[in-house]
Amino acid sequence: MSKLGKLFKRGGSSRGRAAPSPQEALARLRETEEMLGKKQEYLEARIRRELSLARTHGARNKPAALQALKRKKRLEKQLSQIDGTLSTVEFQREALENAHTNTEVLRSMGLAARAMRAAHADTDLNKIDDLMQEITEQQDVAQEISEAISQRAGLGEDFDEDELLAELEELEQEELNKKMTNIRLPSVPSSSLPAQPVRTPGPAGTAPRPRAAPSRRAGGEDADLQHLAAWAS
């Protein structure tokens, strides 16, 4: 039996043991990644040193230069194996992290579902319908009360609007009659108006005589007549 088979057979005897938690497995994988990373840095430093030795010996000491190159090749092979192992470990760690995240999400969703079930355990749909109907009825009652309060109370103010308008027109007519009564009419002159002098031509070469200017009394009477005519119209 190969050593690998013996290893897996030996590991199979530990199935009865409790499986490690995701946190423990992740911690071990991160430690392994850190160890492999340090191994990479060590091999890369060794490769650089062997390459430097080969360049130093060169043509002066060919056997030593060839030995340095052989060591460099072995180190590069080891480094390639380390790179592959590190990639596998990183892939496993990421897969475990995703699985752990999915598990936690499902556990949280299960807790939420149980909490909702417990919250709705004492809830009756028929009671909810009755409650909503009662709330709607109370809202309608409150609306009716608000409308009743906002309406203006009559307080015996049922008057006929046509009668009020007729009374208002009578008051306006009385006020107009009073104003007409208080108007003072101008007195009509008893004497006739003075005759307008006729313009007579003068001797040749002289300007005609102008009419006589009306007196102030005649001007005042004309203003009174105009005021009377305007009132009559």
Residue 152 lies in domain: 126-157
d(CA 36, CA 84): 10
Average pLDDT over residues 206-210: 52
Amino acid (1-letter code) at residue 158 = D
| DSSP states along 199-218 | P---STTSPPPPPPPPPHHH
Q: Indicate if 116 and 56 belong to the same structural domain.
A: yes
Any domain includes 184: no
Tell whether 222 is covered by a domain.
no
Question: Which range scores top for mean pLDDT: 21-25, 44-48, 183-187, 208-212?
Answer: 44-48
138-192 pLDDT, tens digit each: 999 998 888 888 775 555 556 677 887 888 888 888 888 888 887 766 665 556 5
pLDDT digits (tens, 9 = 90+) for 41-56: 999 999 999 999 888 8
* CA-based R_g, the chain, Å: 63
21: left (phi over 0), alpha (psi -120 to 50) or beta: beta
- Tell me which DSSP letter residue 44 carries: H
Is 107 found in the same domain as 95?
Answer: yes
Cβ–Cβ < 8 Å for 93, 30 = yes
In this predicted model, what pLDDT tens digit does every residue of 72-127 receive, in sequence order?
Answer: 999 999 999 999 999 999 999 999 999 989 999 999 999 999 998 888 887 777 78
**CA dist., res. 117 & res. 119, Å (int):** 5
Residues 113, 142: one domain?
no
The answer to whether the predicted template modeling score (pTM) of the entire model surpasses 0.75 is: no
Residue 118 lies in a domain: yes
CATH number at residue 75: 1.10.287.1060
Which pLDDT score, from 0 to 100, does residue 213 have? 46
In a domain, 169, yes or no: no
Residue 73 domain-assigned (yes or no)? yes
Kindly state whether residue 216 falls inside one of the protein's structural domains. Answer: no
**Are 82 and 114 members of one domain?**
yes
pLDDT (tens digit per residue) in 57-71: 887 888 888 898 999
Domain membership of residue 60 (yes or no) is yes
69 falls within a domain: yes
Q: How many domains in the chain? A: 2
Given 122, 143, 175, the domain boundary residue is: 122
Among 157, 172, 200, the domain boundary falls at 157
d(CA 78, CA 97): 28
Q: HSE, CB side, 13 Å, CA atoms: give it for residue 175.
A: 6
Considering the domain architecture, whether residues 49 and 105 belong to the same structural domain is answered as yes
State the residue for tokens 């596998």. 88
Residues 110, 149: one domain? no
CB 185 within 8 A of CB 178: no
Looking at residue 7, its pLDDT comes to: 47
Residue 102 to residue 94: CA distance in whole angstroms: 12
Q: Which residue type occupies 43?
A: L
Q: Is the dihedral of CA 115, 116, 117, 123 positive or negative?
A: positive
| Co-location of 30 and 88 in the same domain | yes
pLDDT at 95: 93
Q: At residue 184, what is the residue type?
A: R
Does one domain contain both 113 and 33?
yes
Residues 6+ apart with CB under 8 A from 49: none
Contact at 8 Å (CB) between 55 and 133? no
Answer yes or no: do 145 and 68 share one domain: no
133 and 65 share one domain:
no
Does residue 24 contact residue 96 with C-beta atoms inside 8 Å? no
Same domain, 100 and 25: yes
Same domain, residue pair 108 and 53:
yes
